[in-house]
Structure 1
Amino acid sequence: MADNYSITSMQDSEKARTPDDDENSLARVVLSQNEEYIFLGRQKFRKSDLYAAFGGTLNPGVTAPPIHKFGNPAPLGLSAFALTTFVLSLINAQAMGVTQTNVVVGLALFYGGLIQLLAGMWEMAVENTFGALALSSYGGFWLSYAVLNIPWFGVASAYEQSRDFQVAVGFYLLGWTIFTSMLCLCTMKSTVAFFLLFFFLAITFLMLTVGELAPSVNCTRAGGVLGVITAFISWYNAYAGLSTPENSYLQVSAVPLPGSVSRGLRSK
């Protein structure tokens, strides 16, 4: 994803070549010489009208304003993910000796699962494909995690040996490790906090995967510690998307990663 966007200087906005002249035009951001206009694919926008990459909106790159005017669903989804991850990660880390994860089932079903899934659907309505994919997928993750821990579904009892179930859970977590790593690659031109969220989440899944497959209690506990860090980063991004000069004395400034084309643009 690091090469998805490239910047081409133009002699002027009227006479210079257009994105149609490039065979990869849909993957290019083209600036006029005075940088007043930007072409996204075959559409032309004023730079002041575009939105920058911002973790508070789960927007990983430069984007045009949405057609539909809805509220920002990202803080809701990020908060649902953060709280559920925080509680489970404390248990994985064996904080205060607690090891049973049953208390997470309710959170995983309704807050991390259902609420986050709904936030993902609203991300689709505001034309944010990345946000829709991320929130809906992790909403599905929490719903499926709850199913694993509800005896009525009979998932664990279907395995004759507990070790077989542990390995199967390891495979399950491995899939989420791969998926999260893919999303992380899509944030490498966004902001520091946005990138760190998916980086730490990928490492968390990796440690939990090793903890199940090895098996290794220490790796699982390390995954718990990393999960707590991930939860706080998620809350940070949620706060960034929620706080405004009208409701808070403390706002979060987005720090673009090197190579980001979002510098000078506004956040949603």
Structure 2
Amino acid sequence: MTDLKASSDRELAQHRERHNSYGGNPLAHIHSSDSARLPAFGGAAQPGLYKPPKTQIANPVPLGLAGFAFTTFLLSLVNLGTRNLSQSTIVIAPALAYGGFIQLLAGMWDIAIGNTFGGCALSSYGGFWMGLAILEIPGGFRVAEAYGGQTPDYYTAFALYIFGWFIFTVLMWLLTLRSTLAFNTLFLSVWIAFICLGVGYLDARNTADGAPNVPLTRAGGVFGIIASFIAWYNMMAGLLDRSNSFFLVPVVHFPWSDKGREARRKKSEDGDSIV
């Protein structure tokens, strides 16, 4: 029992030394042993503690977050009616390439390094963007034509598509409640955007012109813009370290998270030692 406690204390001391040496960024370029534990961190899309895998693959999550952020930003500007834009055709290319294929690759690489949550989230949203591009390609797959064009029937079906992603995002969000504020608010803003857009498209049957509810789609655009900037923020959290930046960005660990409890315990120990 004494040997076990001593081993655990050594692991904790080694972890703290590594953590402090790199400005508190667990994604810095470090070599870790199998027994090391890294804290929950927004830039790693990993809400729980995990063992760093034996691999030379770099952290792929910032790449996936970048693809998600850019494509979300572009679509949200269209949903906001920026410069009177009403057609989302411009989103097709990045939805297929950057938010779609590149994010899917990032998700698969994340699975390869042992991050199940990040792999599931990034790969799924890569699929979301690819699916959206397929729906938006003019005449390519004739999805809208099957409903008689952009009619209330089509908008209702599209709303169901959005609601499915709303459910998925809420489930992902629940898994971040013991993680970081930066990580949690990303999924929060995404599911709020989805619910606004889903209800907005579903309401097309009740509008005079049979089009989606404009205030709701605008609200979805606002939360989409918020989500895109939070995704970029988390991307930077995963890229910045003392070797490439003069500053780091805080991700704010929840006080009830493992890392938050560890910080309180350390603060308490430091206070006791001073007394």
The TM-score normalised by the length of structure 1 is: 0.82
Residue of 159, 163, 188 corresponding to 2:147:
159
User: What are the within-5 Å matches in structure 2 for residues 235-250 of structure 1?
Assistant: 235-250=232-247
Alpha carbons of structure 1 residues 183 and 33: separation in structure 2 relative to 1, 3 Å: same
Q: C-alpha offsets along residues 101-126 of structure 1, whole Å, 9 cap, x if unaligned? A: 00000010000000000000000111
Residue of 73, 80, 105 corresponding to 1:93:
80
Alpha carbons of structure 1 residues 35 and 70: separation in structure 2 relative to 1, 3 Å: closer
Contact 2:37 2:49 in 1 (8 A): yes
Alpha carbons of structure 1 residues 114 and 46: separation in structure 2 relative to 1, 3 Å: closer
Alpha carbons of structure 1 residues 12 and 181: separation in structure 2 relative to 1, 3 Å: farther
Q: Tell me how far apart the structure 1 counterparts of residues 104 and 34 of structure 2 sit (CA, whole Å).
A: 32
Q: Tell me how far apart the structure 2 counterparts of residues 206 and 76 of structure 1 sit (CA, whole Å).
A: 26
- Equivalent residue, structure 1, for 2:24: none
Contact 1:77 1:119 in 2 (8 A): yes
Asked if 1:130 corresponds to 2:117, the answer is yes
Q: Tell me how far apart the structure 1 counterparts of residues 257 and 3 of structure 2 sit (CA, whole Å).
A: 22
Contact 1:190 1:256 in 2 (8 A): yes
Question: What is the percentage of aligned positions where both structures have the same residue?
Answer: 47
Residue of 256, 261, 274 corresponding to 1:259:
256
Q: Which runs of 5+ in 1 are unaligned?
A: 1-10, 16-30, 38-44
Q: Secondary structure of 2:251's partner?
A: coil
* Amino acid corresponding to residue 165 of structure 2 in structure 1: W
Residue of 92, 97, 108 corresponding to 1:121:
108
Residue of 200, 203, 211 corresponding to 2:192:
203
Find runs of 4+ consecutive structure 1 residues off by over 3 angstroms.
Answer: 11-15, 31-37, 45-48
Q: Tell me how far apart the structure 1 counterparts of residues 2 and 177 of structure 2 sit (CA, whole Å).
A: 30
- Equivalent residue, structure 2, for 1:190: 179
Residue of 20, 26, 47 corresponding to 1:60:
47
Contact 2:69 2:232 in 1 (8 A): yes
Contact 2:11 2:35 in 1 (8 A): no
Q: Secondary structure of 2:140's partner?
A: helix
Q: CA deviation at 1:12?
A: 5.0
- Equivalent residue, structure 2, for 1:41: none
Alpha carbons of structure 1 residues 49 and 143: separation in structure 2 relative to 1, 3 Å: same
Contact 2:183 2:251 in 1 (8 A): no
Alpha carbons of structure 1 residues 116 and 46: separation in structure 2 relative to 1, 3 Å: closer
- Equivalent residue, structure 1, for 2:61: 74
Q: Tell me how far apart the structure 1 counterparts of residues 10 and 246 of structure 2 sit (CA, whole Å).
A: 35
Q: C-alpha offsets along residues 117-174 of structure 1, whole Å, 9 cap, x if unaligned? A: 0000000111000000000000000000000011211111111361111000000000
Asked if 1:50 corresponds to 2:37, the answer is yes
Q: Tell me how far apart the structure 1 counterparts of residues 144 and 43 of structure 2 sit (CA, whole Å).
A: 37
Q: C-alpha offsets along residues 152-205 of structure 1, whole Å, 9 cap, x if unaligned? A: 111111113611110000000000000000000000011000000001101010
Greater share of residues in helix: 2
Asked if 1:14 corresponds to 2:31, the answer is no
Q: Tell me how far apart the structure 1 counterparts of residues 38 and 134 of structure 2 sit (CA, whole Å).
A: 38
Contact 2:11 2:36 in 1 (8 A): no
Contact 2:34 2:53 in 1 (8 A): no
How many residue pairs are counted as aligned between the two chains?
Answer: 234
Alpha carbons of structure 1 residues 12 and 170: separation in structure 2 relative to 1, 3 Å: farther
- Equivalent residue, structure 2, for 1:83: 70
